[in-house]
Structure 1
Amino acid sequence: MITRDIDAFIAVARTLKPDFGPATARAAFLVSPDGFVRAEQSAQDNRYMADPGAFDADAALREHHALHRALSQELPVVCFPGSEATPDAVFPNNVFATTRVDGEPRLIVGRMRHPVRQREAERPDIRGYFRDLLGYAETDLSGQAHPCELTGALVIDRAHGIGFCGLSERCDEAGAALMHAAFGLRVTLMFDLAPGEYHTNVLLAVLAGRAALVCPHSLQGDVSRALHALYGPHVVTLSPAEQAAFAGNAIALTDRSVWMSRRAHRRLAEASRRQLEEGAGFTVRGVPLEAIEAGGGSLRCCVAEIF
């Protein structure tokens, strides 16, 4: 089921058991910020991107290496090289995603809106790693007409098979339906992002199938009501200040901890931290990413999960 009807969505989603698959990934991959500069095409609809003078490629490389080390404390993490021809490739989760459908592993390749990012989908090394080395079947959405920027646009509760898909210039309704089918989801709620927003995962995170971070002021429709119906007291409502620091762009890579950037960690309100730590049972971890955040994304955008 894929719908805009929140009541119909809640009615189905509340019946689902956490038996769709593992709530968190078994590994992850990154793409190094080689050639990290402002991509003018992406800046057209990404208001979080900094001016060209704020990009520091050397600092971004150092931060990314530290991120790799930090995440490797919790699960295996592979890093692919970047390229000057693809300056946004440091955010691979928009282009590549994995899932398991009926137990079979699948690599999904998204259709990016901007040509500078469409080049990322052509990479033979990442496709070959999953196809030839790991034996994943490939679902290639990159050649069709409808933008569907994978786990940038689509936030997934992997335990229950539930999708939350925000529509913008980066994902239309047809693209949402293609992703719903590609991930084999049980139910997906579609809703519009507020004007000026580009990706859902800057505004919403579902954490290990039991908690959520949400910026309701940037989502159209009563998405918070659906979240509270599913995750109850473990829904953390973020303020505009927390959102601006990328606190919504977080990820749980195990059922024990939530990762976000250092800036987000510092701006997280004490009440929000208590909900995550004392309420939902997570440890909140922060990693310095100020240079990478100039590119208009943060920690979750850097992480492509391997299921």
Structure 2
Amino acid sequence: MITRDAAAFLEVARALAPDFGPATARAAFLVAPDGFALAAQSASDNRYMADADAFDPARAHAQHRDLHRALSQVLPTVCFAGDPATPDALFPNNVFATARVDGRPRYVVGRMRHPVRQREATRADIRGFFDDVLGYAGVDLSTQPHPCELTGALVIDRARGIGLCGLSERCDEAGARLLHAALGLRATLLFELAPGEYHTNVVLAVLAGRAALVCPRGFADPAVVAAIAALYAPHAVLLSPAEHAAFAGNAIALSEDLVWMSAGAERALTPASRAALAAAGLAVRSVELDAIEAAGGSLRCCVGEVF
């Protein structure tokens, strides 16, 4: 099922058992911020990006290393070298994603909107890691014409096998349908992001299949917010504009008991939001990423998942 009808989606999604697969990844991968700098093409539709003089490559490298070290305490985490020709490559989850479809592992290569990011999809080392080291089958969407920026545009509940896909310049409806098929999902809800939003994972996170962080201002239609909140009730956390602006929605669960976000996002959490996460059995862990956030993304954007 793939639909724009939030009520119909909710009815189907509520009936799906959490038996699609593991709710969290078995490993993660990062790409180092080599060549960290303002990418003008990406800045054209990413309002979260700072001006060029706010980029601090040395601080970004140190923070990225801290992130690698922290995540490695929870699950195996590998880091690929960056490339100065691809300054946005530290956000690999937009370009590479993995899934198990009918029990068989596969990796998907997305089609990026901007040429500066399309270069990332050609990396032989990352493709070779999945092809030759892990033995995953590949689905290459990078050369077809429809933008589909993987788990930037598509937030996935891995336990139920459902997708929540925000449409924007970074993912059109045809691209969303390609992602739905490539990742073997049971049901996907399509919706418009609010003007000025570029990726769904900045305004929504599904955590270990049982909780959600939702930034209502990031959605064009309040009915979509209501449907998502109903699906994850009583563990749907509606974030304030201040939490939204601090990237609290750009979070990820990499184990059953922890949610990861940037330190700035954690500082912005209200006591009510923190209590709601605790009620869902999720403690908050964070890493200082203010230098990386200058590039318009935060912790979740840095993390590629291996299922």
Q: TM-score range by the shorter chain?
A: over 0.9
**8 Å contact kept, 1:147–1:169:** yes
Deviation for aligned residue 1:182: 0.4
The equivalent residue for 2:285 is: 285
Aligned to 1:23: 23
Alignment match, 1:236:
237
2:195/2:220 contact within 8 Å kept: no
Aligned structure 1 segments of 4 or more residues deviating by more than 2 angstroms: none
Map of 2:201 onto structure 1: 201
Equivalent-residue separation in structure 1 for 2:229 and 2:292 (angstroms): 32
Deviations 1:238-283 (CA, angstroms, capped at 9, x unpaired): 0110011000000000011000000000011110000001x10111
Q: Describe the SS at the equivalent of 2:152.
A: helix
Offset at residue 226 of structure 1 (A): 1.6
Q: Secondary structure of 1:138's match?
A: strand
Match status 1:14 vs 2:33: no
Which residue number in structure 2 is paired with residue 158 of structure 1?
158
TM-score after normalising by structure 2: 0.99
Q: Is residue 2:66 matched to residue 1:38?
A: no
- 2:270 paired residue number: 269
Q: Is the 2:148–2:176 Cα contact (8 Å) retained in structure 1? A: yes
SS across alignment from 1:151: helix
How large is the RMSD of aligned CA atoms in angstroms?
A: 0.5
CA contact (8 A) 2:63 2:292 kept: yes
- What SS class does the counterpart of residue 213 from structure 1 fall into? strand
Please report how far the alpha carbon of residue 231 of structure 1 lies from its aligned counterpart in structure 2 after TM superposition. 1.2
> How far apart are 1:228 and its partner, in Å?
2.6
TM-score, length-normalised on structure 1?
Answer: 0.99
Q: Which amino acid aligns with 2:259?
A: V
Q: Answer yes or no: is the 8 Å Cα contact 1:3–1:9 preserved in 2.
A: yes
Q: Distance in 1 between matches of 2:137 and 2:274?
A: 39
Secondary structure of the 1:233 match is coil
| Deviation (angstroms), 1:224 | 2.1
- Matched-pair contact (CA < 8 Å) for 1:216–1:223: no
Aligned partner of residue 260 in structure 1, secondary structure: strand
- Residue aligning to 2:250: 249
Query: 1:123-181: CA deviations, max 9, x gaps?
Result: 00000000011000000000000000000000000000010000000000000000000
| Structure 1 residue runs without a partner (length 5+) | none
Counterpart position of 1:88 = 88
1:59 aligned onto 2:94: no
The answer for the alignment partner of 2:102 in structure 1 is 102
Native 8 Å contact 1:14 1:229 kept in 2: no
